[in-house]
């Protein structure tokens, strides 16, 4: 499959690759950066893959992500600026995360929900409040994080 540019922010925590998707201003980068910082405090490996634009492809049944070269290692912290962070690319993606506004979201999301990034790239979807103070703790209820770096 050819690479497709997806509007999203991808990170790795432990051995799990996540892509935060949603409209501009929904909190993708902030949630991702907060997860990276929390993982580091917990002693878990974490790295940015790509912010805002993520190049996605499928190889050998795995969904892969990498940044466009022009923005590699950069993440925008809305209202604060653009900062440089540790990166890992390419990386395997395992889950998609959709920031939601709890005032507008259904109380419970559909069970076993998936997100189709492309017809070949389909990931389990986790909905997460865009305003949660500890997004990594919320995600850990659904994702088996560990401290190892991806091999």
Element (H, E) at 122: strand 122-129
Give Cα separations from 58 to 36, 37, 55, 70, 124 (angstroms). 25, 28, 11, 22, 15
Find the mean pLDDT for residues 32-41.
Answer: 97
pLDDT tens by residue, 63-74:
999 999 999 999
Rounded CA gap, 64 and 151, in Å? Answer: 14
Class of domain 4-140: alpha beta
pLDDT digits (tens, 9 = 90+) for 114-143: 999 999 999 999 999 988 999 999 999 999
pLDDT value at 102 more than 90 = no
State the pLDDT at residue 146. Answer: 76
Closest by CA to 25, choosing from 90, 91, 76, is 76
pTM of the shown model: 0.93
Q: Is the pLDDT of residue 37 over 80?
A: yes
């Amino acid at each position: 499959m050819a690479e497709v540019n997806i509007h999203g922010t991808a990170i790795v925590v432990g051995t799990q690759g996540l892509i935060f998707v949603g409209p501009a201003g929904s909190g993708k980068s902030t949630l991702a950066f907060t997860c990276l910082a929390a993982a580091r405090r917990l002693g878990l490996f974490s790295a940015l893959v790509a912010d805002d634009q993520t190049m996605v492809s499928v190889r050998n049944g795995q969904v892969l992500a990498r940044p466009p070269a022009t923005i590699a290692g950069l993440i925008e912290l809305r209202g604060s600026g653009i900062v440089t962070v540790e990166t890992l690319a390419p990386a395997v993606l395992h889950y998609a995360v959709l920031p939601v506004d709890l005032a507008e979201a259904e109380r419970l999301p559909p069970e076993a929900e998936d997100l189709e990034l492309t017809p070949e790239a389909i990931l389990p979807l986790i909905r997460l409040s865009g305003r949660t103070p500890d997004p990594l703790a919320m995600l850990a209820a659904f994702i088996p994080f560990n401290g190892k770096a991806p091999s």
